[in-house]
Amino acid sequence: MTTFLPEPHLLDSPRGRDWPPPMGTAVPVAGPPARADVVIVGAGPAGLAVASALWHLDVRDVVLLDRADRPCGRFFDRVDGLRQRVLRSPYEHHPGVEGYRDCELADFARLHWSRLTPVERREIRMAQAGHRSVVPVDVFEAYCRHIAAVHGVDTRTHQATVRELHPGADAVRVHTDRGTVTARFAVLCLGEERTSAPWGGSASVGYWDEPVPPDARSVVVVGAGLSAAHVIANALSDRRRVHWVVREVEERYQCADVNASFFRAEGRARFDGASWADRLALMGRHRRASVMFEFRPLLRAAEADGRLVVHRGREIADVSAAGVGLVDGTRVRGDHVVLCLGTTPSIGTGLLPDAIIGARDGWPDLDERTLAYTRAPRVLAVGAAACMVLGPAARNIDGHRVATARVAATVAAHLGAPSTLDRTAVGALV
């Protein structure tokens, strides 16, 4: 049997290269307008996909509102905080709507061939040959800037924190810290918040999206996902000793957290018509914390030479300044504990009344066909909130593309926009 042993240097793409600025980039300085056809709350990869799709459908009176100061700001801040140099998703997964054959991520990378390293060029050839490929964060960020510029997203993105939405029969009022926007439709692209621990806080306990204090000589990392792997790799490279506490009997190395079938129509079809209980079971079985294959040689070598101690199959009883207490009474000690417990989908809680969200097991009540909130049809959701309709891949960049097709077509049809949409292509997606 041949064992797949990916090269660790796939993880080391350069960051901060000098990409040519996209044409027509301009960030608005004035506050958001009072009215728009569509307000998109959240300008991450999902919001970018929705705005770009609406642009293709000739819906141009669109406003994006985000707490961050630039499109996809939170996504890249998180990625850079972890010193992550490559995406987990391959070249085929990119913000946008399939069917237009706009400049796709792999096309964009090929246009910038001279800037890429030999390893990065080889990955593009892998993508062209239909194999798994690794995308540099630098390429992905330049591509997102390009997509934002050519679809007029930069000029319509306003930095604002949305406080509340009031859906009515004809319009939705969106209240922000910079005024109110009244729109005919609102699309929530809120992403996910980090999952908090049930244990009490302490100065020497932090999360994956917070810096490790520079004077910590040893860290205890809790969690079995890619964020944990990045925190461990960074700590090792900073010459810290690491303890890794993993609940499962063995850590899992996989291409993606989501079973690959859910990125394809046949996987999504398993959700269509399935009972709520079956969907919950599918979500639990097919989305599990795992680490990219590329980390395995690095982590195994560190474990073999004692710089990394892995505590496998261990349940946690408490976490405090004294370290991590395990249920068997052992205490794993370190100067700092980093909790990498993943993220929790934002479903509109706090922005919409609970009665409208209609949450069940943490998931909102969405129309299966349109992804509109059943009790507020002028408010729609794209991103992690759509998992119980589209399956676990809804949380990923590729899943946003599928949700976007439904939402953009719904909004455009109601606004009566003259559509340039290739409905056959979108029909194939949904």
At 8, is the secondary structure helix, strand, or coil?
helix
Per DSSP, the residues of 166-201 read EE-SS-EEEEETTEEEEEEEEEE---EEEPPPSSPP
Instruction: For residues 190 and 192, give the distance between their C-alpha atoms in angstroms, rounded to a whole number.
Output: 7
Which residue's CB comes closest to ligand FAD? Answer: 44
Closest alpha carbon to 154 in 38, 59, 17, 22: 22
Stretch of 24-32, 67-75, 114-122, 246-254 lying at the interface with ligand FAD (CB under 6 A):
67-75
Q: How far is CA 74 from its chain centroid?
A: 10
Report 86-105 residues binding ligand FAD (CB under 6 A).
87-89, 93
Question: Which lies closer to ligand FAD via its Cβ, residue 190 or residue 283?
Answer: 190
The size of the interface with ligand FAD (CB under 6 A), counted in residues, is 32
Stretch of 2-10, 60-68, 123-131, 298-306 lying at the interface with ligand FAD (CB under 6 A):
60-68
CB of 401 vs ligand FAD, minimal distance in Å = 10
Question: Which lies closer to ligand FAD via its Cβ, residue 6 or residue 73?
Answer: 73
CB of 210 vs ligand FAD, minimal distance in Å = 13
Are residues 159 and 69 in contact, defined by beta-carbon separation less than 8 angstroms?
A: yes
Is 292 a binding residue for ligand FAD by CB under 6 A? The answer is no
Instruction: For residues 197 and 195, give the distance between their C-alpha atoms in angstroms, rounded to a whole number.
Output: 7
**How many CB atoms are closer than 10 A to CB 156?**
25
Report 39-58 residues binding ligand FAD (CB under 6 A).
41-47
Instruction: For residues 33 and 314, give the distance between their C-alpha atoms in angstroms, rounded to a whole number.
Output: 53
Question: Which lies closer to ligand FAD via its Cβ, residue 264 or residue 423?
Answer: 264
Stretch of 187-195, 260-268, 356-364, 421-429 lying at the interface with ligand FAD (CB under 6 A):
187-195
Instruction: For residues 287 and 262, give the distance between their C-alpha atoms in angstroms, rounded to a whole number.
Output: 10
Phi/psi of residue 205, nearest 5 degrees: -125, 125
Question: Which lies closer to ligand FAD via its Cβ, residue 256 or residue 282?
Answer: 256
Is 191 a binding residue for ligand FAD by CB under 6 A? The answer is yes
Instruction: For residues 336 and 333, give the distance between their C-alpha atoms in angstroms, rounded to a whole number.
Output: 8
Q: How far is CA 333 from its chain centroid?
A: 32
Stretch of 2-10, 246-254, 320-328, 395-403 lying at the interface with ligand FAD (CB under 6 A):
395-403
Question: Which lies closer to ligand FAD via its Cβ, residue 191 or residue 392?
Answer: 191
Is 139 a binding residue for ligand FAD by CB under 6 A? The answer is no
Contact residues: ligand FAD, CB under 6 A: 41-47, 65-68, 73-75, 78-79, 82, 84, 87-89, 93, 161-162, 189-191, 343, 383, 395-397
